[in-house]
């Protein structure tokens, strides 16, 4: 036996925080906590004393995704109660008074100890975390604390534990009455012995031996620091001297005689416990999940971040899942198609397909954001095909998007059949893509190329968004559908025409071969087209939403207009409504019915003979009635051959 007189020394606890803990924290921050930084209950895990092995030389508290589970349980581990404070800015994390925070946790623990009647480790050993989650960079700053109350015990003597005492202690680690009772016993970290009998209460006038089942197997004689809270309790109860046995299941048990130098004062509470870094310094830690996660998964989370922030900061009713569920078809992969695709990505759409039969030219990359200079040439001396290149480049921007490109031409009215086999195959591909799509954007550079997709959209009940450009103007509109009431049915792109679309591509001059527009118009039209789609999808009636319903209860994103016309010459924008035209060459009942019944044969007739379409929908009769009305309005008089008006009338 040696005679000593020096303070007790302890092994400080440490934490092991699994990456799943931060993943769960990020999810809860976005979906539940939001800007609320109030204290949250969490749980940690620690091995039972009987389950420790040679590697447990430091008392370790582990945290993972189950730490947020209120019903957490594990028969092989000790569950510890903890608190989480997740602040909203890095400045708040840095500037918060750490000592005051630790003291507040210590005061709460002190109150628990005062009221305690036993030595339950759930009450005596708690932990807390201060954290900040940088969800844009997937970095998590955190600092754990194990609040520990100080009392002035001095070690007077140190000696080995005799065999008789060990025999008295060990049954509590290997109880013969059953596994369940053994686990319950092991939840008790501290036992009191008097005259070799176990007591639940004690008399401070008697000599007492206390056994601490150590939570670490350190090679030196430093018990885990959580012992200090038990010693504080004994000091608070008024004990002056104790015989302390630190029991370890690796045979390195030891015994100390402790004497209290000064009584604890509730008003002068001293609390320590901030975790140290691996270098032994006081300071927070940082977990960088970007280095551990799949880059594709990180990209998906980053894409959703702005939308989730929008949802819990500005628009809590925003339905993001309905956007992800849409399959979108873009007819045209040029200027409008490129910008529409990028805007759809920003809104979280996950399936976007392209149709275009053009090649990338040298003038494209500066105006069409999905192409680069290298796409302007290939081994055959021509530019890369637009549709497939657009899909490839969109996937290189965000690998999580499902996208394909189809290098086909859309059969156009006014352009007679020249290769029926090819054109019919293109038609069939277009029809298949329509059937699998929820939304179709018409973004082509000619009027006649929009006719067949408009007919298909009306016949199949698809949500069709149309965007068209002038030199300094643009039009964005949504097409009506058969489910809308007859009086409120919205018109399509062709409802204002009194003639069927015809060939506008032949014999064009250079300025007509290119889409000559002010560059900003395409960006504005594309963004408005996507925003119109999102507003419709957030409306309870979807594409059947009224064009003039501006009530706050109708759509989560304001109005759902029919047409948006913008004019860059004076920077104005107006909303218009155009009803469905009964004799429309694209969406009238007669055209839709004929298409549904005869499919390609009907389309072939229209392509070869536009007059057939005009007779079918009634436009021919409208034209004849108009000519007749004009004649009836003119004065019925004989005009002299020299009359200056005669030339005008002829």
- Residue 620 phi, psi dihedral angles, 5° rounding: -60, -45
Structure tokens at 436: 């699998």
Q: Do domains 1-293 and 302-622 have the same CATH topology?
A: no
Contact 395, 401 (CB under 8 A): yes
- Could you report the per-residue pLDDT of 560-579, keeping only the tens digit for each? 999 999 999 999 999 999 99
Which residue in this structure is represented by tokens 């990028």?
342
| Least confident interval from 152-156, 308-312, 458-462 | 308-312
- Could you report the per-residue pLDDT of 146-198, keeping only the tens digit for each? 999 999 888 888 888 888 777 777 776 554 333 333 333 333 455 555 444 44
At 192, is the secondary structure helix, strand, or coil? strand
Contact 386, 356 (CB under 8 A): yes
Identify the helix (H) or strand (E) that includes residue 129: strand 127-134
Buried b (16+ CB within 10 A) or exposed e, 45-71: bbbbbeebeeebeebbbbbbebbbeee
Domain segments of the chain: what residues?
Answer: 1-293, 302-622
Catalytic residue numbers, as ranges: 514
Residue 111 has pLDDT above 90, yes or no: no
Which burial class, exposed, middle or buried, applies to 322 when counting CB atoms under 10 A from its CB (0-12, 13-18, 19+)? middle
Selection from 415, 446, 441, 569 nearest residue 515 by Cα: 446
Residue 295 has pLDDT above 60, yes or no: yes
Cα(492)–Cα(501) distance, integer angstroms: 13
Selection from 396, 627, 597 nearest residue 499 by Cα: 627
Overall CATH class of domain 1-293 = alpha beta
| Least confident interval from 134-148, 377-391, 392-406 | 377-391
Given this model, what pLDDT does residue 247 score? 84
Cα(355)–Cα(444) distance, integer angstroms: 10
Contact 461, 438 (CB under 8 A): no
**Helices 519-537 and 335-346, packing angle to 10 deg:** 40
Fold (topology level) of 302-622: Rossmann fold (3.40.50)
- Could you report the per-residue pLDDT of 335-348, keeping only the tens digit for each? 999 999 999 999 99
* Cα atoms in the 13 Å half-sphere on the side-chain side of 397: 22
Given this model, what pLDDT does residue 650 score? 43
Selection from 442, 407, 440 nearest residue 426 by Cα: 407
Cα(379)–Cα(147) distance, integer angstroms: 70
- Could you report the per-residue pLDDT of 581-623, keeping only the tens digit for each? 999 999 999 999 999 999 999 999 999 998 999 999 999 998 8
């Amino acid at each position: 036996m040696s005679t000593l007189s020096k303070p007790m020394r302890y092994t400080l606890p440490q934490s092991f925080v699994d990456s799943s803990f931060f993943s769960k924290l990020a999810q809860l921050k976005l979906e539940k906590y939001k800007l609320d930084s109030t204290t949250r209950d969490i749980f940690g895990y620690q091995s039972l004393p009987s389950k420790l092995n040679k590697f447990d030389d430091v008392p370790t508290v582990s945290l993972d995704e189950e730490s947020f589970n209120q019903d957490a349980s594990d028969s092989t581990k000790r569950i510890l109660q903890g608190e989480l404070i997740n602040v909203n800015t890095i400045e708040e994390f840095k500037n918060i008074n750490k000592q005051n925070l630790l003291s507040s946790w210590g005061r709460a623990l002190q109150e628990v100890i005062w009221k305690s009647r036993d030595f339950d480790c759930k009450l005596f050993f708690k932990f807390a975390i201060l954290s900040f989650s940088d969800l844009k960079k997937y970095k998590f700053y955190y600092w754990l604390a194990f609040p520990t109350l100080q009392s002035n015990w001095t070690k007077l003597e140190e000696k080995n534990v005799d065999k008789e005492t060990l025999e008295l202690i060990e049954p509590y680690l290997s109880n013969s009455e059953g596994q369940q009772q053994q686990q319950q016993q092991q939840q008790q970290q501290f036992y009191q012995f008097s005259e070799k009998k176990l007591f639940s209460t004690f008399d401070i006038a008697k000599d007492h031996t206390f056994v601490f089942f150590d939570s670490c197997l350190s090679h030196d004689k430093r018990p885990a620091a959580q012992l200090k809270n038990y010693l504080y309790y004994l000091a608070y109860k008024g004990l002056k001297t104790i015989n302390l046995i630190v029991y370890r299941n690796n045979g390195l048990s030891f015994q100390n005689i402790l004497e209290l130098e000064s009584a604890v004062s509730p008003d002068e509470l001293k609390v320590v416990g901030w975790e140290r870094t691996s270098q032994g310094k006081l300071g927070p830690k940082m977990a960088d999940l970007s280095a551990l996660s799949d880059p594709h998964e990180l990209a998906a989370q980053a894409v959703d971040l702005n939308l989730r922030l929008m949802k819990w900061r500005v628009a809590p009713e925003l339905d993001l899942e309905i956007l992800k569920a849409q399959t979108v078809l873009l007819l045209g992969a040029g200027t409008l198609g490129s910008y529409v695709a990028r805007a759809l990505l920003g809104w979280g759409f996950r399936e976007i397909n392209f149709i275009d039969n053009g090649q990338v030219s040298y003038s494209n990359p500066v105006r069409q954001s999905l192409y680069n200079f290298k796409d302007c040439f290939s081994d055959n001396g021509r530019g890369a095909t637009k549709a497939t290149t657009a899909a490839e480049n969109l996937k290189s921007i965000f690998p999580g998007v499902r996208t394909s490109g189809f290098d086909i031409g859309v059969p156009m009215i006014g352009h007679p059949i020249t290769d029926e086999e090819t054109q019919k195959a293109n038609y069939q591909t277009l029809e298949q893509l329509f059937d699998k799509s929820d939304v179709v954007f018409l973004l082509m550079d000619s009027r006649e190329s929009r006719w067949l997709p408009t007919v298909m959209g009306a016949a199949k009940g698809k949500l069709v968004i149309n965007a068209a450009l002038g030199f300094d103007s643009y039009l964005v509109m949504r097409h009506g559908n058969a489910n809308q009431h007859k009086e409120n049915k919205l018109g399509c792109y062709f409802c204002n025409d009194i003639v069927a679309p015809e060939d506008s591509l032949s014999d064009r001059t250079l300025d007509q071969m290119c889409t000559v527009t002010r560059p900003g118009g395409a960006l504005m039209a594309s963004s408005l087209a996507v925003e119109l789609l999102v507003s419709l999808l957030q409306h309870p009636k979807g594409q059947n939403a009224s064009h003039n319903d501006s009530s706050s209860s109708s759509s989560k994103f304001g109005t759902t207009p029919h047409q948006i016309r913008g004019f860059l010459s004076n920077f104005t924008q107006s909303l218009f409504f155009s009803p469905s035209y009964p004799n429309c060459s694209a969406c009238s009942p007669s055209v839709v019915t004929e298409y549904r019944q005869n499919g390609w044969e009907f389309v072939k007739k229209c392509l070869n003979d536009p007059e057939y379409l005009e007779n079918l929908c009634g436009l021919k009769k409208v034209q004849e009635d108009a000519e007749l009305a004009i004649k009836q309005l003119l004065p019925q008089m004989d005009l002299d051959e020299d009359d200056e008006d005669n030339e005008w009338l002829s």
